[in-house]
Amino acid sequence: MYPRIFTLLLLFAAMPLQAAQLTLSVGDISAPSFAARGVTLSLPLDGSAELRLDELSVAGRHWRKVRVHCAGFVLSTARLECRQAKLNAAPDLPFDFSYDFGTQRLALELSAGKDERWRVDGDFHDAGWRVNVQLRNAQARRLATLLPPEQPLPTQGLLNGMLQIRGDQDGLRRVQGAVQAAELAFSDAAGLHAADKLAGSVQFDAVRSRSRWDWHGALDWQRGELFWQPLYLKGAHSLTAAGSWDGGQLQVAQAELNRLGVGRVELSALWDTAKNSLLACDLHGSDLQLAPLFADYLKPFLVDSVLGAATLSGRGDADWQYRDGTTQALNLTLRDASLEDGQRRFALRGVNGTIPWRAAAATQAAVSFDSGALWGVPLGSSQLQLAMHGLEFSTPTATLPVVDGSLTVHDFSLQRGDGGWRWNFSGQLAPVSMPALSRALGWPEMSGALSGTIPQVSYDGREMRVGGALLFRVFDGTVVMTKLALADPFGPTPLLTGNLDMRELDLGQLTRTFAFGSMEGRIDVSVQDMALVNWQPVQFEAKVASSPGSYRKRISQKAVQNISALGGAGAAAAIQRSYLSFLQDFGYNRIGLSCVLRNGVCAMDGVSRKNGGYVIVEGGGIPAITVMGYNRAVGWNELLERLKRVLQDNTQVVIQ
Residue type, 488: D
What pLDDT score was predicted for residue 583?
Answer: 61
Residue of 558, 576, 472 whose CA lies nearest to 512? 558
Residue 559 near residue 519 (C-beta atoms within 8 A): yes
Share of the chain above pLDDT 70, in %: 88
Residues 139 and 83 in one domain: no
pLDDT band at 9, cuts 50/70/90? very low
* Residue 274 domain-assigned (yes or no): no
CA-only gyration radius of the chain, Å = 41
Does 652 have pLDDT greater than 60?
no
Report CA 416 to chain centroid distance, whole Å: 22
Residues 167 and 95 in one domain: no
Tell me what the mean pLDDT of segment 144-164 comes to: 90
Q: What domain count does the chain have?
A: 3
List, for residues 224-269, the tens digit of each pLDDT value: 999 999 999 999 999 999 999 998 999 999 999 999 999 999 999 9
Least confident segment among 5-9, 40-44, 284-288:
5-9
Residue of 353, 470, 451, 473 whose CA lies nearest to 402? 451
Q: Which residues pair with 311 in a beta bridge?
A: 340
pLDDT band at 585, cuts 50/70/90? confident
* Residue 278 domain-assigned (yes or no): no
Residues 199 and 70 in one domain: no
User: Rounded to an integer, what distance in angstroms lies between the CA atom of residue 263 and that of residue 639?
Assistant: 56
Task: State residue 507 phi and psi, 5-degree precision.
Answer: -65, -30
Residues 542 and 586 in one domain: yes
User: Rounded to an integer, what distance in angstroms lies between the CA atom of residue 639 and that of residue 647?
Assistant: 12
What pLDDT score was predicted for residue 78?
Answer: 86
Phi-psi region of 213 (alpha: psi -120 to 50; beta: other; left: phi over 0): beta
pLDDT band at 451, cuts 50/70/90? confident
Does 559 have pLDDT greater than 90?
no
User: Rounded to an integer, what distance in angstroms lies between the CA atom of residue 454 and that of residue 465?
Assistant: 12
SS3 content of the chain, % helix, strand, coil (to 5): 10, 65, 25
In angstroms, how far apart are the furthest CA atoms of the chain?
137
What pLDDT score was predicted for residue 432?
Answer: 86
What pLDDT score was predicted for residue 160?
Answer: 97
Residue of 655, 649, 653, 516 whose CA lies nearest to 580? 655
* 211, 228, 247 - which closes a domain: 247
What pLDDT score was predicted for residue 90?
Answer: 76
**Residue 62 domain boundaries:** 1-102
* Residue 220 domain-assigned (yes or no): yes
* Residue 345 domain-assigned (yes or no): no
* Residue 426 domain-assigned (yes or no): no
Higher-scoring residue by pLDDT: 191, 15:
191
Residues 35 and 83 in one domain: yes
Residues 494 and 637 in one domain: yes
* Residue 208 domain-assigned (yes or no): yes
Residues 634 and 489 in one domain: yes
List, for residues 366-421, the tens digit of each pLDDT value: 999 999 998 888 999 999 999 999 999 999 999 999 998 899 999 999 998 777 88
* 247, 265, 286 - which closes a domain: 247
Residues 57 and 155 in one domain: no
What does the angle CA 192 – CA 490 – CA 481 come to, to the nearest 5 degrees? 165
Residue type, 441: L
Q: What is the DSSP letter of 655?
A: B
Helices 636-647 and 557-567 cross at an angle (nearest 10°) of 160
Mean pLDDT for the chain overall:
85
Residues 131 and 97 in one domain: no
User: Residue 77 burial by CB count (10 A; 0-12/13-18/19+): exposed, middle or buried?
Assistant: exposed
